[in-house]
Structures are given as C-alpha cells and as structure tokens.
Amino acid sequence: MSEFFNWETLATFAGASVATAIITQFIKKPLAKVPTQIVSYAVAAVVLALATAAMGTAESWTAYAIIPLNAILVSVAANGEFSAVSRFIGNKE
C-alpha cells in the first residue's frame, strides 16, 4: 500500500467511515456547540460526495441522491468506531 487514503478507498463503506471518524475528531472542538453526531453526518456526506465526484462514478443524479442515506450509515459506523476505541483505551467522554 503506497498511500494512506485514495479515492477508491474513500468510496468504500470502511474507508468513508474511518475518514469520517478521524475528520470528526479533528474538527469537533471548534464546533463544540453542535452535537458530534450532526458533525459526523455532515462530514460523512461531504466525504461521500467528494469520493463520488472524484471517482467519476456519478453517471446521473441518482448517484448523488443516495448520498444522504449512505451518510447516515457511515456516520453511525464512525460514531461506533470512536466509542469502541474510547472504551478500549479507557477514555470516557
């Protein structure tokens, strides 16, 4: 593996959820008044939209229409990943 992330990886469920979890953790401090789950959803939607655009897989509007639904799944997975890691290392938020 010569790259940490690439567009093909970000277009997958696992890649999008890991990227969402990492980006959310970096930007949630400045957005402290906004619930983390909402920040996570917004990040997931942006990651999926950018990956779809970069991959050139959007042959019609339907590829973008499904992004809000997929963002819910990616956001929930990202939130669960962070909770599991926090429990494992004993860091309670």
Residue 83 lies in a domain: yes
Instruction: Indicate the number of domains in the chain.
Output: 1
Residue 73 lies in a domain: yes
Over its length of 93 residues, how does the chain's per-residue pLDDT go in tens digits? 566 778 888 889 999 999 999 999 899 888 889 988 999 999 999 999 999 998 887 777 888 899 999 999 999 998 887 777 666 777 555
Residue 70 lies in a domain: yes
Listed residue (65, 62, 69) closest to 44, CA to CA = 69
> Phi, psi at residue 36, to the nearest 5°?
-60, -35
Residue 28 lies in a domain: yes
Which residue is listed with tokens 């970000």? 10
| Cα–Cα distance, 47 to 41 (Å, whole number) | 10
Residue 1 lies in a domain: no
Domain containing residue 63: 7-89
Residue 47 lies in a domain: yes
Residue 2 lies in a domain: no
Q: How far is CA 15 from the centre of its chain?
A: 8
Whether the full predicted model's pTM is greater than 0.85, yes or no, is: no
Listed residue (24, 28, 10) closest to 67, CA to CA = 10
Residue 39 lies in a domain: yes
